[in-house]
């Protein structure tokens, strides 16, 4: 007789480690041998995971001690001629450089002794270095007073020559790659920028770190790099990210957050190390990064048994593991657009504020690959409208501002825009959630202060005034699927009373159930002019100003807000209505630190993660 499990059951594979998206995604940090002498502010790095050098540094007093690593333990070897800290170092375990550190002196290591090398053109501290002894780069730094530099110098094994200048002056960055094909990653002031060097000039890449930092590890190549640890805001970070030539992706964190450590900057994306540094206490600890050479590919929906953790697990989409990736640029730079759509490959943006400073009537559609300008334009140019809709072919643009506050309600049917029943109260900088047939339009500025608590419900035919929200705000973000299920969050609570902007920024969150507004848990970071999408119980908030422009992204699971991966580029004036879900959404245009009228698109996608199955 056939067994029941043979008829109805299925086999579950037993594995010793969880499946991963790639070998790099399965990488982990593990403890290595401790330095013989705990210290910080060592040379920026030399060697590989199994053949590294830790050079000089601070105990905190300056030391000249040098140690060599064989993949297991550190051994004290010949000291540098001059003790130094906060200097550049690079090369191999048997052919390395110790560069500057407030002086013009360079020392060369030949595997047995340190000898005098060529002098740098500009003495500086906290600069980066990469490459080998006969073809090295010495980049950025401070000279010697605070204030980062954009200088680059190139070494040929004998002398230093001036190279191209950094696009953005930085110090204490991570450095990757050879002399003629290099990256500078992060740096001070604490930043997320990635800069690329081709042997002649530097350029800023569109890809940015998910965690802004300085004093970071940098290793690998410009198309397969790793950045880890360092000084972030606030405090030190354990975050590790890998770069594939296009995007930085978060992977497994270190055990101990630290900065100012020695690093194997000739290591690879799959094999490198850090040693010593500040935690903030000075440490001797070493951690080694290793990605497996063999791994099992992760597949959405798979169920397996992990024999190491003694647990049944399932692979599923995870909003907290979601990331932002660069998409195609807008055709027309602008901010304060109204948007609607299904996900990050089915979106529409309408109106906005465009150069040189005028309301726009432009409509653009996104298919996940490119933006297409639609011949159909809004009947009335405006910005700060709220969008409601279920796809890029069906939605509404409601309210906003042109030369005056607007109550307009325009319907898009995939071909043209048509004016329909207006709001009861004209206003702008509002928010809400819903679809083209069922929505809530709430809060905003209605012509006088304080900012309004007013709310209106759309039933597909007309707008009806509902009970008011608890806190009057403008520039809030929202999420929701109908006129009975909406969440609004953040905003500017200005009431007309003179006062500084930070006192007005709100972290308040409220939900609408079709009858009343109820306060829900607050955002971790109060912002206004941020963006939002999703549902009332599974929402994403991103960007905004607090009052400085921020990149942070938060996820609401119906109970609390949690910080997740940041935007690659900070966005301020976005107001995208309900473009997507917490699984797949979009940010487009806006105001970035570099531009008042951005063309940038960022696509949000939930991650794939292994989750332990529990009985309930």
Q: Is the pLDDT of residue 501 over 90?
A: no
Q: Is residue 2 part of a domain?
A: no
What pLDDT score was predicted for residue 65?
97
pTM above 0.85, yes or no: no
Same domain, 224 and 327: no
Q: Report how far residue 273's alpha carbon sits from residue 176's, in angstroms, rounded to the nearest whole number.
A: 14
Query: What whole-number percentage of the chain has pLDDT above 70?
Result: 96
Q: How confident is the model at residue 616 (pLDDT cuts 50, 70, 90)?
A: low
CATH number for 221 = 2.120.10.80
Nearest Cα to 490, choosing from 433, 571, 545? 545
Q: In what order do the strands lie in the sheet with 217-221?
A: 217-221, 224-228, 240-243, 248-251
Across the range 573-588, mean pLDDT stands at: 77
Residue finishing a domain among 290, 310, 342: 290
What pLDDT score was predicted for residue 570?
64
What pLDDT score was predicted for residue 297?
84
Q: Is residue 5 part of a domain?
A: no
Cβ proximity of 197 and 164 under 8 Å: yes
What pLDDT score was predicted for residue 300?
83
Nearest Cα to 514, choosing from 482, 557, 476? 482
Q: What is the DSSP letter of 609?
A: E
**Mean pLDDT lowest for which of 41-45, 71-75, 103-107, 533-537?**
41-45
Same domain, 415 and 529: yes
Q: How confident is the model at residue 21 (pLDDT cuts 50, 70, 90)?
A: confident
Which residue do the tokens 């692979």 mark?
Answer: 315
Same domain, 258 and 331: no
Across the range 57-64, mean pLDDT stands at: 94
Q: Is the pLDDT of residue 9 over 70?
A: no
Same domain, 524 and 402: yes
Q: Tell me if the bond preceding 306 is cis, omega within 30° of 0.
A: no
Same domain, 347 and 238: no
Q: Is residue 1 part of a domain?
A: no
Same domain, 201 and 81: yes
Q: Is the pLDDT of residue 145 over 70?
A: no
Burial state string for 272-283 with b = 16 or more CB within 10 A and e = fewer than 16: bbbbbbbbeebb
Q: How confident is the model at residue 281 (pLDDT cuts 50, 70, 90)?
A: very high
What pLDDT score was predicted for residue 7?
55
Q: What is the tally of structural domains in the chain? A: 2
Beta strands in 177-254 (DSSP E): 182-185, 194-197, 202-204, 217-221, 224-228, 240-243, 248-251
Query: Could you write out the DSSP letters of every residue in 60-121?
Result: SSEEEEEEEE-SS-EEEEPPPSS--SS-EEEE-SSSEEEE-SSSS-EEEE-SS-EEE-PPPS
Same domain, 118 and 251: yes
Q: Is the pLDDT of residue 294 over 90?
A: no
Cβ proximity of 260 and 41 under 8 Å: yes
Q: Is the pLDDT of residue 289 over 90?
A: yes
Across the range 258-265, mean pLDDT stands at: 95
Q: Is residue 373 part of a domain?
A: yes
Interacting residues of 10 by C-beta distance below 8 A, sequence separation 6+: none
Distance of CA 123 to the CA centre of its chain: 33
The parent domain of residue 419 ranges over 321-612
More confident residue, 580 or 436: 436
Distances (CA, A) of 487 to 8, 224, 364, 426: 42, 40, 26, 21
Beta strands in 430-476 (DSSP E): 431-434, 439-442, 455-458, 463-465
Query: What whole-number percentage of the chain has pLDDT above 90?
Result: 75
Same domain, 518 and 416: yes
Same domain, 443 and 359: yes
What pLDDT score was predicted for residue 547?
80
Same domain, 282 and 426: no
Q: Is residue 150 part of a domain?
A: yes
Q: How confident is the model at residue 575 (pLDDT cuts 50, 70, 90)?
A: low
Q: Is the pLDDT of residue 539 over 70?
A: yes
Q: Is the pLDDT of residue 4 over 60?
A: no
Residue finishing a domain among 290, 311, 330: 290
Q: Is residue 84 part of a domain?
A: yes
Same domain, 113 and 252: yes
SS3 state at 418: strand
Q: Is residue 146 part of a domain?
A: yes
Same domain, 511 and 559: yes
Q: Is residue 8 part of a domain?
A: no
Q: Which two tokens stand for residue 255?
A: 């055990």
Q: Over the chain, what is the mean pLDDT?
A: 92
Q: Is the pLDDT of residue 6 over 70?
A: no
Q: How confident is the model at residue 23 (pLDDT cuts 50, 70, 90)?
A: confident
């Amino acid at each position: 007789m056939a067994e029941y499990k043979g008829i109805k059951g299925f086999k579950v594979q037993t594995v010793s480690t969880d499946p991963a998206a790639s070998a790099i995604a399965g990488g982990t940090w593990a403890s290595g041998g401790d330095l013989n002498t705990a210290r910080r502010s060592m040379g920026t790095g030399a060697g590989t995971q199994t053949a590294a050098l830790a050079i000089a540094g601070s105990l905190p007093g300056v030391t000249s001690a040098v140690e060599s690593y064989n993949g297991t333990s550190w051994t004290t070897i010949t000291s540098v001629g001059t003790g130094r800290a906060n200097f550049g170092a690079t090369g191999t375990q048997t052919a390395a450089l110790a560069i500057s550190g407030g002086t013009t002196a360079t020392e060369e290591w030949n595997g047995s002794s340190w000898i005098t090398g060529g002098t740098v053109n500009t003495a500086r501290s906290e600069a980066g270095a990469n490459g080998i002894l006969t073809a090295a780069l010495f980049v950025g730094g401070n000279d010697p007073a605070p204030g980062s530099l954009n200088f680059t110098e190139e070494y040929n094994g004998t002398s230093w020559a001036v190279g191209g200048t950094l696009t953005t002056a930085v110090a204490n960055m991570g450095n990757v790659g050879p002399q003629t094909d290099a990256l500078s990653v992060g740096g001070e002031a604490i930043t997320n920028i990635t800069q690329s060097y081709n042997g002649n000039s530097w350029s800023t890449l569109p890809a940015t770190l998910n965690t802004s930092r300085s004093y970071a590890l940098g290793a690998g190549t410009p198309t397969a790099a790793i950045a880890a640890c360092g000084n972030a805001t606030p405090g030190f970070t354990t975050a590790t990210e890998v770069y594939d030539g296009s995007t930085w992706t978060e992977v497994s964190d270190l055990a101990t957050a630290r900065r100012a450590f020695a690093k194997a900057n000739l290591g690879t994306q799959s094999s490198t190390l850090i040693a010593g540094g500040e935690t903030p206490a000075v440490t001797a600890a070493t951690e080694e990064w290793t990605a497996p050479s063999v791994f099992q590919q992760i597949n959405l929906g798979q169920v397996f048994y992990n024999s190491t953790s003694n647990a049944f697990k399932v692979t599923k989409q995870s909003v907290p593991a979601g990331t932002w990736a660069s998409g195609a640029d807008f055709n027309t730079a602008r901010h304060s657009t109204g948007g609607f759509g299904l996900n990050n490959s089915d979106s529409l943006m309408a109106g906005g504020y465009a150069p040189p400073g005028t309301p726009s009537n432009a409509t653009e559609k996104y298919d996940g690959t490119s933006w297409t300008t639609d011949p159909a334009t809004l009947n009335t140019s405006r910005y700060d409208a709220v969008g409601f809709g279920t796809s890029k072919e069906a939605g509404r643009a409601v309210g906003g501002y042109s030369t005056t506050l607007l109550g307009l309600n325009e319907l898009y049917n995939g071909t043209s825009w048509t004016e329909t029943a207006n709001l009861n109260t004209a206003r702008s900088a509002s928010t809400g959630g819903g679809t083209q047939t069922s929505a809530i339009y709430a809060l905003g500025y209605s012509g006088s202060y304080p900012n309004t608590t007013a709310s209106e419900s759309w039933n597909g035919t007309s707008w009806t005034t509902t009970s008011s929200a608890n806190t009057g705000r403008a520039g809030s973000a929202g999420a929701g699927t109908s006129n009975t299920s909406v969440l609004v969050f953040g905003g500017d609570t200005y009431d007309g009373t003179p006062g500084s902007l930070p006192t007005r920024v709100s972290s308040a969150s409220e939900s609408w159930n079709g009858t009343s507004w109820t306060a829900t848990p607050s955002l971790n970071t109060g912002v206004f002019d941020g963006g939002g999408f999703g549902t009332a119980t599974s929402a994403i908030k991103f960007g905004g100003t607090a009052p400085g422009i921020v990149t942070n992204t938060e996820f609401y699971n119906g109970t609390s807000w949690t910080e997740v991966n940041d935007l690659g580029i900070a966005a301020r004036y976005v107001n995208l209505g309900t473009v997507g879900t917490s699984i797949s959404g979009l940010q487009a245009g806006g105001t970035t630190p570099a531009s008042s009228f951005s063309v940038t698109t960022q696509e949000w996608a939930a991650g794939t993660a292994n989750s332990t199955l529990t009985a309930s």
